[in-house]
Structure 1
């Protein structure tokens, strides 16, 4: 069954392994001038865990992810990976963006994936070996000599995932990576993501606004309050066997709880804007 648990007391992942690292968010505030984006967020993420950040639009999910990636400096609090402070971008922190435009159109798929190892000074043989290994993992070894423009949207996103994994990071940060895909491709990518995560052993922090996606992928789901000054509202453990069945009664129960949590925040945001959601009925 699923249950809400305290934001700063997550369960340790029992079967995690591989290269994953533990992530700690300790009393983090993020401000942009006078705008208070997120407020006093504390969160422990176990090594090898798949955590989804879920919440209404504008609640600061991507802002928190950017801070974990080292792109944004918190106004207050600390972010650490295995106890080491996050002070800026780091090869151990891989970022997968929503758009596949981050790929280099003038490089082949293999060259795109080998780019990180190349920048880290790996030999040409090592670059090729790593690129082919992770292209095989995402099911695109046969496309290694193509260019990104010759691939579908879903395939380009898999190349982007392979490029991040080729750096062999401990933590993979994903900002709605399937949001721009059509429904059918998105479903396939969600199923593939679970397999890729289990094979890589990385810790994954995955931002989404899709409740079903979170249930399908996550070990735990952290629900954020509506912004500004967003915080963690609740955290749910997803105690369901993999691969997951959306018609499982426990999955349906969790979906109901998540919809209720997020609905409360959306209604609160509307009231803060001077709108009464009850008037829309």
Structure 2
């Protein structure tokens, strides 16, 4: 299900990205090969695949952190060469926060770097701190916060730069199950409110189905590519127990399982009983 059609901010707050036959190599090692997808403005796309299939590498290339060795990645009107100016990145680790700055100061860092007035810095910081539900902790240091709260600060700091594309690399992977579930619900709410494009890397099928408009499944590496793109036509918030959710979960599990088994066979670790 795409962002609400009634939203008037999607075209301003979101950009699309096109990957055309993208290859990414590190010396003689081919991490990604022939990956193509049109990421729609305002959509929530999850990238899912077996461990080591190049999900994070592909995300880093979209961000402009890693150069492509073949094909191209294009943003609005131009190829992505170097840092993608439309993108903000949320990492799995919360160690990217400045431990010596308060929550408000962390979130205001981007607006401050852009030369905005102190009043505008505070206004923007408080807006996004409220959006992630941390107004009561604005004057605390990161060390005084739980893991889930720290991840919210990181998300607020990225959003305060008003990116049209938010790239998220397994941002909830280090959280406990209960906190992770809360953060998934919060992210869904924030995305619908903010109307930007989100590309979210995960290895968790359940998480992908809870969040995504579409799920891109990658093949096993090396030289991983796009195996299948699944549309997720489920109403939000998603119901894990609905027949439609469970049916799509099984389809994705079969897709991933086939790639895992192929990888094991290629390594001589599968005796064929899992085929």
Q: How many residues get paired?
A: 271
Q: Which one of the candidate residues 9, 22, 35 is aligned to 1:41?
A: 35
Equivalent residue, structure 2, for 1:124:
118
Correspondent of 2:138 among 144, 149, 156? 144
Tell me how far apart the structure 2 counterparts of residues 194 and 172 of structure 1 sit (CA, whole Å). 13
Q: Is the 8 A contact 1:39 1:231 kept in 2?
A: yes
Deviation by residue 1:98-138 (Cα, 9 ceiling, x = unmatched): 01111000000000001111111111111111100000100
- The answer on whether the counterparts of 1:97 and 1:174 sit within 8 Å (CA) in structure 2 is yes
| Counterpart Cα distance in 1 of 2:224 and 2:4 | 30
Contact 1:267 1:277 in 2 (8 A): no
* Counterpart for residue 70 of structure 1: 64
Gaps of 5+ in 1: 1-10
In the alignment, is the contact (CA less than 8 A) between 2:111 and 2:160 conserved in 1? Answer: yes
Shift of 1:51: 0.1
* Residues 250 and 134 of structure 1, relative CA distance in 2, 3 Å threshold: same
Specify whether residues 132 and 41 from structure 1 end up closer, same or farther in structure 2 by C-alpha distance, changes over 3 A only.
same
Name which of 203, 208, 211 aligns with 2:205: 211
Structure 1: which 4+ aligned runs deviate by more than 3 Å?
11-14, 277-281
Secondary structure of the 2:108 match is helix
Cα offsets for 1:244-268 (capped at 9, x unmatched): 1001111000000000000000000
Of the three residues 9, 26, 35, the one matched with 2:20 is: 26
Q: CA deviation at 1:92?
A: 2.0
| 2:221 pairs with 1:266 | no
User: For the aligned residues, what is the CA RMSD?
Assistant: 1.6
Deviations 1:225-275 (A, max 9, x none): 000000000010000000110011110000000000000000000011011
TM-score, length-scaled by structure 2 = 0.95
What is the CA–CA distance in structure 2 between the aligned matches of 1:186 and 1:104, rounded to whole Å? 23
Does the Cα contact within 8 Å between 2:15 and 2:75 map onto a contact in 1?
A: yes
Indicate the larger mover: 124-133 or 216-225: 124-133
Q: Which residue of 1 aligns with 2:81?
A: 87
> Residue 13 of structure 1: CA displacement?
6.6
- Report the alpha carbon displacement of residue 81 of structure 1 after superposing the two structures with TM: 1.6
Structure 1 length-normalised TM: 0.93
Alpha-carbon deviation of 1:73?
0.4
What pairs with 1:1-281 in structure 2 (closer than 5 Å)? 15=5, 17=10, 18-278=12-272
Compared with structure 1, are the counterparts of its residues 247 and 76 closer, same or farther at alpha carbon in structure 2 (3 Å cutoff)? Answer: same
Q: d(CA) in 1 for partners of 2:88 and 2:55?
A: 17
| Contact 1:115–1:163 (CA under 8 A) maintained in structure 2 | yes
How far is the alpha carbon of 1:141 from its aligned partner?
1.2
Output the CA distance in 2 between the equivalents of 1:115 and 1:133. Answer: 14
Q: Distance in 2 between matches of 1:182 and 1:85?
A: 38
Distance 1:91 1:265 in 2: 34
